[in-house]
């Protein structure tokens, strides 16, 4: 066995052992509070990432913000959101009341608490992880597959929204409810605009419009 494999195996064993030891401690309501707070931050960041992505595809921010800047923020915020999702789920392992196990975090609908709505959160986390990971595999999987995979982010967003609204304790707080409403309005508004832009592009320009746009008969393709 190589030294590298031995080091990785011992690190994994050490983290497993310390994780199990930590799970025996009593942390009161701290893990629950941490999970709730980080869940809200993860959702806020996921919303921001969706908005940034839609600003790129609609070109709505062109002229105001540089596209490479928006792309960098989009990628950075996506990774940050994943990190907060990990804290959000991971903190539940240390909650002495609900007793979440690792399987409940990884397998949809296996949670001991509100299994359906938490299950949607697990699927959202997996989908968001796959879409974010694809930033680094774009060349290998090709532009077309990368785009197709990127559409899963809309599913992840809707599932995360349903999960947050219906499994969250804080949904009725005006600040939290306001965040959900603003987030949904921004994402749905930009998506509608995006669909409008795409359908305008797909529609052939009427003959009059070609004339008005200055396309002369010489420039127009000749009919045979």
Q: Rule CB under 6 A: which residues touch ligand HEM?
A: 36, 39-40, 42-43, 46, 85, 88-89, 92, 105, 111, 113, 118, 121-122, 124-125, 128, 160, 163-164, 167-171, 176
Cα–Cα distance for residue pair 196/219, rounded to 1 Å: 28
Closest to ligand HEM by CB, 70 vs 92, is 92
- What is the Cβ-side half-sphere exposure of residue 141, based on CA atoms within 13 angstroms? 15
Instruction: Give the CA diameter of the chain.
Output: 83
CA distances for 72 relative to 65, 77, 109, 126, angstroms: 12, 8, 34, 22
In whole angstroms, the minimum distance from the beta carbon of 172 to ligand HEM comes to: 9
In whole angstroms, the minimum distance from the beta carbon of 126 to ligand HEM comes to: 8
- Number of Cβ within 10 Å of residue 139's Cβ equals 8
Closest to ligand HEM by CB, 183 vs 190, is 183
In whole angstroms, the minimum distance from the beta carbon of 112 to ligand HEM comes to: 9
In whole angstroms, the minimum distance from the beta carbon of 24 to ligand HEM comes to: 21
Closest to ligand HEM by CB, 99 vs 212, is 99
SS3 71: helix
The residues, any chain, with a CB within 8 Å of residue 27's CB and separated by 6 or more, are: 94, 95, 96
The residues, any chain, with a CB within 8 Å of residue 26's CB and separated by 6 or more, are: 96
Closest to ligand HEM by CB, 60 vs 129, is 129
Name the residue with the smallest CB distance to ligand HEM: 168
Closest to ligand HEM by CB, 55 vs 111, is 111
In whole angstroms, the minimum distance from the beta carbon of 115 to ligand HEM comes to: 10
Closest to ligand HEM by CB, 155 vs 197, is 155
In whole angstroms, the minimum distance from the beta carbon of 125 to ligand HEM comes to: 4
Measured distance between the N- and C-terminal CA atoms of the chain, rounded to whole angstroms: 73
């Amino acid at each position: 066995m190589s030294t590298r494999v031995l080091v990785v195996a011992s690190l994994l064993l050490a983290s497993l052992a310390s994780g199990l030891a930590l799970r025996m401690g009593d942390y009161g309501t701290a893990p629950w509070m941490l999970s709730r707070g980080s869940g809200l931050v993860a959702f806020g960041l996921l919303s921001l990432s969706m908005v940034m992505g839609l600003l790129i595809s609609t070109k709505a921010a062109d002229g105001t913000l540089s596209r490479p800047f928006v792309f960098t923020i989009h990628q950075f915020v996506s990774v940050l959101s994943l990190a907060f999702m990990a804290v959000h789920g991971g903190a539940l392992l240390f909650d002495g009341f609900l007793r979440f196990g690792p399987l409940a975090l990884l397998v949809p609908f296996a949670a001991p608490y509100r299994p359906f709505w938490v299950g949607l959160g697990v699927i959202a986390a997996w989908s968001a992880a796959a879409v974010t990971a694809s930033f680094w595999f774009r060349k290998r999987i090709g532009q077309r597959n990368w785009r197709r995979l990127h559409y899963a982010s809309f599913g992840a967003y809707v599932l995360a929204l349903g999960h947050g609204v219906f499994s969250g304790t804080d949904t009725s707080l005006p600040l939290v409810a306001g965040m959900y409403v603003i987030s949904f309005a921004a994402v749905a508004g930009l998506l509608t605009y995006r669909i409008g832009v795409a359908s305008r592009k797909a529609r052939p320009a009427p003959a009059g419009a070609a004339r008005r746009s200055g396309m002369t008969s010489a420039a127009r393709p000749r009919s045979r």
